[in-house]
Amino acid sequence: MTFDVGAFMLQSVPFARTLDIAFEKVEPGLAVCRMPDRSDLHNHLGGPHAGALFTLAESASGAAMLSAFGDQLSRATPLAASAAIRYVKLAMGKVVAEARLQADREEVVALLDAGRRPEFDVAVGIRTADGTPVAEMTVAWTLRPNR
């Protein structure tokens, strides 16, 4: 199954549209997303709010996950099981999130084939437009078999 993951994400996750998240690059197991600098998304320090950064990173992780497992949607529903984020520096201006699948696709699909509910991580780095790291996030995803 081949489809435009970024367009799918923007259609199925309206909150990503609210934040103007752009899906710049999506390849198997990788996604790069960008969020503009908007005053209505700022915190009390003038940079992107922590919740906006979280949503950017979670959206990138979802796109990376779908780019690897989108062909499994007819038999399983992807769900974020947990997420951990670490803010390392104040973000200012536009921000970019790069998400990478941390699992072997074949192993995950084999677990699904065996009737199990696989869980796997997607690691996300968040940086400013000039490349300064501002946060790190790991999202644990699962593929829940459809009944």
CA distance 25 to 87: 23
The pTM (predicted TM-score) of the whole model is 0.95
What is the 8-class DSSP label of residue 98?
E
CA distance 91 to 99: 18
Residues 7-20 have a mean pLDDT of 93
Domain ranges of the chain: 5-145
Query: Please, is 107 exposed, middle or buried when counting C-beta atoms within 10 Å of its C-beta (0-12, 13-18, 19+)?
Result: exposed
pLDDT in tens, 36-76: 999 999 999 999 999 999 999 999 999 999 999 999 999 99
The fourth-level CATH superfamily of domain 5-145 is: Hotdog Thioesterase (3.10.129.10)
Query: Is residue 109 within 8 Å of 38, Cβ to Cβ?
Result: no
| Pair of tokens at residue 88 | 């390392």
What is the 8-class DSSP label of residue 75?
T
